[in-house]
Structure 1
Amino acid sequence: MSTLSRPPGSKDLWLNAAYDLLIEGGVDAVKIMPLAKRLNLTRTGFYWYFKDIAELHRAMIQRWEAKNTGNLIEQCELEAASICESLFNLMDCWLVPTLFDARLDLAIRNWSRVDSDLQQRVKEADNRRIEAIARMFKRYGYSEEQADVSSLTVIYTQIGYISMHRLESREERLARVPHYVELFSGIRPTAREVVNFNDRHQKSIE
């Protein structure tokens, strides 16, 4: 029986701390000693969960892909009675951090500027997101061309929000969402669709 015992902490704990450092200072800030200091753990504990910093980087990227891209695709594929309802489902991503982490998305994009492999992964993620949104539009009768342009408009709008550090209150964002839905779809959402969207986000902050 091994005499080695698992050190304090967990893989997720190290990953979470790495994300915090990435968001605060970029990838150059994600180093083993600063991570250990932040967690009040020894650097030896790091090597229990990761072979080296490169493995940590890979785990960070994989989690970003699963969370931001994976959740966005799932939201696009939810059952909905109309394109407006589907768009409201997608807009949940921009209001629920557990579905989509905008600060992390920006940090990953900034990191990709100095990492050609990651840059390719970001391009692939964007393509997967665009394709999922286009499929969503096509389910409701939009042509290939309409779906393509609409999906690009949705993604570029959100990337603009993120990259420009657009600051607005939650109330302001909620008030604008129905107008974005109408702009993207060309259809005014019904009063019931707007109420349902607002109700679920109001409940999330009560």
Structure 2
Amino acid sequence: MTKTPAPSPGSTQETWLHAAYDALTEGGVEAVKIMPLAKRLGVTRSGFYWHFKDREALLEAMVRYWEDKNTGNLIARCDAYSETICEAVLNLFDCWLDDTLFDGRLDLAIRNWARVDSGLAARLAHADTRRKAAVQAMFLRFGYAASEAEIRTLTLIYTQIGYLSMQVTEDRALRFSRMHGYVEVFTGQTPTVSELDRFIARHDTAPLPADITP
């Protein structure tokens, strides 16, 4: 029986996943192929099979990673403790500013991939349903009527999807300067200076500009 050669030094499941992530976000799912990934890593193709049964197993691992990270963290931020709806929305905004919580490039790549993969499209729809339910529950928790909570939820989520699909790039300071207005639009309420200060402090940025006051 022929044995699969031992993996090359530096060839781990994580390195293959990282290479697949780069290929997916740069060139789409068609770019995620074993031989090009091996060349990218500078290792042999045979080492791949120590970590994954086949290409489909690698793709499945990528999708599970996206589900756990993006959808899982978004739901967790919606469920996080907050005393006001403004604070709750700012908790959710953590996802848009911290790549360790939510990877926008990966989310866009998954959405593009789902256009040509019906199975993934169904999983994306399920993920979006879970995200909408979590955001809507957040609004309901603070006394919004069901119909209003639904509209505010869709406005918030569709705005963020628009950011991703349009690949908007903003100076970080500019984006922070708009947070006050975004919270007002999404909630109909005015965040306090202390709520905004705590939010900004989490992301290690400069204090609020003088004109960003309620």
TM category (shorter chain) comes to over 0.9
2:203 corresponds in structure 1 to: 201
1:101 corresponds in structure 2 to: 103
Deviates more, 1:172-181 or 1:66-75: 172-181
Q: Which of residues 131, 148, 154 in structure 2 aligns to 1:152?
A: 154
Q: Which of residues 122, 130, 135 in structure 1 aligns to 2:137?
A: 135
SS at match of 1:61: helix
1:170 corresponds in structure 2 to: 172
Equivalent residue runs for 1:68-87 within 5 Å: 68-87=70-89
SS at match of 2:167: coil
Amino acid paired to 2:23: L
Tell me, yes or no, if the aligned pair for 2:6 and 2:50 is still in contact at 8 Å: no
CA displacement, residues 156-199 of structure 1 (integer Å, 9 cap, x when unaligned): 00000000111111111111122111111100001110111112
Count, aligned residues: 203
Shift of 1:6: 5.5
CA displacement, residues 82-112 of structure 1 (integer Å, 9 cap, x when unaligned): 1100100000100000100101100000001
Q: Which of residues 166, 185, 188 in structure 1 aligns to 2:187?
A: 185
Shift of 1:203: 5.5
Question: 1:157, 1:63 → 2: CA distance?
Answer: 24
Q: Percent identity?
A: 55
2:64 corresponds to 1:62: yes
Question: 1:32, 1:7 → 2: CA distance?
Answer: 14
Q: Which of residues 16, 19, 32 in structure 2 aligns to 1:17?
A: 19
Question: 2:137, 2:15 → 1: CA distance?
Answer: 36
1:161 corresponds in structure 2 to: 163
Shift of 1:202: 2.0
2:55 corresponds in structure 1 to: 53
Question: 1:146, 1:180 → 2: CA distance?
Answer: 17
1:38 corresponds in structure 2 to: 40
Pairwise CA RMSD: 1.7
Q: 1:6 to 1:28 in 2, by over 3 A?
A: closer
Question: 2:156, 2:118 → 1: CA distance?
Answer: 25
Question: 1:75, 1:110 → 2: CA distance?
Answer: 25
Tell me, yes or no, if the aligned pair for 1:32 and 1:46 is still in contact at 8 Å: yes
Tell me, yes or no, if the aligned pair for 2:74 and 2:95 is still in contact at 8 Å: yes
Give structure 2 stretches of 5+ with no counterpart. 207-214
